[in-house]
Amino acid sequence: MKRKKHLGELEQMVLMAVLQLKDDAYGTSVMNELSDRGGRRVSPGALFGTMDRLEAKGFVVSRLGDPTPGRGGKRKRYLTVTQKGLAALRDARSAWVRMSEGLEEVLQR
């Protein structure tokens, strides 16, 4: 049996942020989404390390946008979740649901 690559919590949150942002998912927008929706502040180093890891696992692909004067000619790195990434996120969500079954009373406190 092939071993699945599991997602850490931050990896899951980054994938969800990328999905929420659709075609506008790049470093700063993902950081803002994590903060606004997830209530989680992440350093740029932690975010970019996670983005690199997700890409190495095949869960996202990236493309570079056009250089912009406002960024000193730097290009934004846009992310898109792959089918493999969607499957991994679905698996993580299913596992969370299974593990939380029967804990409704405890978790509602």
Q: pLDDT by residue (tens digit) across 37-95?
A: 999 999 999 999 999 999 999 999 999 988 888 777 788 999 999 999 999 999 999 99
Read off the DSSP letter of residue 77: E
CATH number for position 28: 1.10.10.10
Phi, psi of 24 (to 5 degrees): -115, 30
1 belongs to a structural domain: no
Task: Retrieve residue 38's tokens.
Answer: 């997830």
Q: pLDDT by residue (tens digit) across 17-33?
A: 999 999 999 999 999 99
Read off the DSSP letter of residue 26: B
User: Residue 25 is part of which domain span?
Assistant: 9-107
71 belongs to a structural domain: yes
Q: What is the mean pLDDT of residues 88-103?
A: 93
Cα angle for residues 99, 39, 43 (degrees, 5° grid) = 105
- For tokens 């250089």, name the residue: 67
Q: What is the pLDDT of residue 66?
A: 84
